[in-house]
Every structure is written in C-alpha cells, then in structure tokens.
Structure 1
Amino acid sequence: MPLKICPDCKSQVSDKAPHCPKCGRPIAEAEKQRKQTIIMVVALAMAAFYVFKLYYLDPREMERMHQEALETQDRYISNLLSGLQRQAGIFESTPDSGWLFRGNPTLMNRLEDYGEAALTRLIDCVDSTEPANITADNQAVPFGVLCATALLRFVDLGEYDLPPDWPGYVEPTATALELQQAKAAWQEVAAAGWYTLRDN
C-alpha cells in the first residue's frame, strides 16, 4: 500500500485515506484543488496573452494586417470581375422594360457582398469597351454595360429622382462615348452619396 505525505504535518498517510489521521487535512481534495489551480493559471495566462495581443499589438502590425485584408479583398473582387467578363449570357429586348439580362447572377450577387469596395471597382469598369461574353442582337456587349448592369442590381437610386435619361442607364448597344458618360454619371452619384446599397 503506497503512502503519501501530508502537506501540513508531514506524516505518512495511506493513498486511500480521504484525510490525514493526525491533523485532519483532506488529502485527495488537496491534489484535486492543485490541478484545478494549475488549469486556472494556464487559462488566465492564455487569456492575458490574447488580450495583450488584441489591444496592445504594435500599430504597424495592425496596419499591415489591415493592408493584407484590403489586398485580399481587392484580389477577390478582381477575380469576380474577371469571371463576370467571361460569364455567358444574353440581353433580350422586351417591349415592356427595354433590355432584360439573362444570365447567371451568382457573380453579381457575390460582388454585392463587398459593398462600397465593389461599387468603386464596378464604377471604374463602366467605361470598358472590351467585349464581354454576353450578346445582344447577336452582337458582343461591352464589359462596361455588364458593370453598369451589376451596379443597378445592388445600388438603389430610387429615392434620388434621377431622370429617365440619366446617362448611367446604358443599353447593351452603348458606344464608347456613352460608356464614358455613364462612368462620369456613376462617379457623380457616388461622390454625392445619391445611392443606397441594397441588402442581399
């Protein structure tokens, strides 16, 4: 039968005894409390390190992390725009509402997740005359038209009373000059804050 030493009176006690027969100190409870204390100290040390790292991190490190996040977001938006340019679709002429875009809206919906950053990038590409993989009347549609269409999907201009002939509304048959005018119109709207981002 192995023996333990009582931490208080230093007498030998059976390892099965719940307390010291000489001084009455609980033996098994002492070891349990010691393990709990060690666990608490380790947990508190980890929490203190996390709080220190969170609140007292070098400002340059915080700026670097912020810059990395922006670069990652910008790279992701660029990939979505590339995918948007390659995506297949068609603009169909309808007697009621003019042109209707038929295609997979997934990429446009993903752009909506990036709000203001995607808005800026889409406005930048509204004047693009590069052909997209979209057609209207069997003619290739400029990528700028697709960017303007994406903008109209997730930006609400309704409460700002823009005229029906506002240059930001472009048709699939838009010329390079019309796309430049559309970009200028969108830049004016963005600078003035005449829009509300739609919820997904």
Structure 2
Amino acid sequence: MGTWNTKINGNDTFQDIYQNFFDAYNQGKEPADISKQIQDDYAEMFEDSDDRNNSLFGLALAQWETKSLDQTIYKQVKEIIESGNDLEVWKGLGADSKTLEKRKKELDKFLIQISTVREKPKRRVRPKFEYAANHLLTLPAPDGQKTFEILESYVNGEYKDTSSGITWAGGGGSVFYFYTKGKFVTARWVDSQTLEIRHDKTIEFAKKDETFYFCGDQGVIKYIAE
C-alpha cells in the first residue's frame, strides 16, 4: 500500500489516482471521461484489497473538487468508512491502536467533506511549459556568412532532442536531429561549402540532411560515424 501517514492523501496509491485525474483535467478533459479512463487504466488497483480503498478515496476527492462526484463512487466510499472496512485493512497491515484512531478521525472528516456539495469546481491550471536549450556547439563558417549550431532541447526539465541548424543573416534551416541524450556529436567546416559532422555510430537520426542551401549559398554535409 505504500503508506506515508494516516491522512486521506498520505499514501502513494491515493496520489497516483488523484494526480493523474488532475493531469487530465488541467488539459481540458471532462471529469466523467477522466474517471472512466482512470478506472480502466488502474483497474488492478481498484480491485486489489490493499489499494482499493485509497484508489476510491483519490477518485472521490478529485470528483468532489470538480463538482462531478459520482453517486456510485460516493456510496462505495461511504460504505468503506462507515463499515470500518478501511480500518480492518490497516489493522491487517500491522497498524496499532493509536494509528487506527488517527486514521478513523481522518476518514470521518473526509466523509463529512465529500458529503457536502462544493460551491465551485476547482479551476483548471494550465500545464506548465518551460523550454530550455543547452548549446553544445556554435561554429561560424570561414566565409563569415553563416553559422552551424548544435543544441539539446529540454521541456519542463526533461530532455526532448538534440538538433542542429545552419543560420544566415536572413534565415536558415535544420540539418539533423535525434532523440538520445548524451551522444557524442561535433563538427567542423572543411571549407565554407563543406561541413563535416563526426558522431557516435549508435545515433539513430530522425533527420539527416546531406546538403544545405540558402539564397544561392549551397554546400554538402558529410557524416563520419565513430
């Protein structure tokens, strides 16, 4: 069950259900559709004797906060709390009398909470989107007219891809990109019309241009796997 403490939200099973509900809710999905998807995706947790209660508690609170509390879910939660079933589960997992007393208080408080209709649904929060780039190489061409660059891109702190491009004063375009972090890749200009790229032989390129062209300036790109 992965218990953290006696609070309703104090365990990882509850958090898995609750957080996944709001991940989808904040993306604009409807609560009823989210609830169905969660019950399908986490069917084993909803059926497991140790995880079922906390799964239902997580879903019930998420529904209550979005003014979409399903009466079937509410009745199941009410039955679990009033029958003492949840305390029996905790007792079976080794909880002592002091812990069970604290848990009962949290259960009673939770049932009172979801038995009262929330005034307004919880506001959706726009998902965070933070882009960052780590510049691996910036290489001006001998003619001074263009620059080749390699960078790693990150979204919300997670690696996205490694990409490259050639830019001129008036524009530019991409050369290659791949999706594996930490691979060796570097380059050098042989001359202003020839770019040589050396790279880890295990890289699987999603794009790999072998020529470049912009406003009459054209050249070749040579790849050397090492």
- TM-score, length-scaled by structure 1: 0.26
Normalized per residue, which structure has more strand?
2
Structure number, greater radius of gyration: 1
Normalized per residue, which structure has more helix?
1
- TM-score, length-scaled by structure 2: 0.24
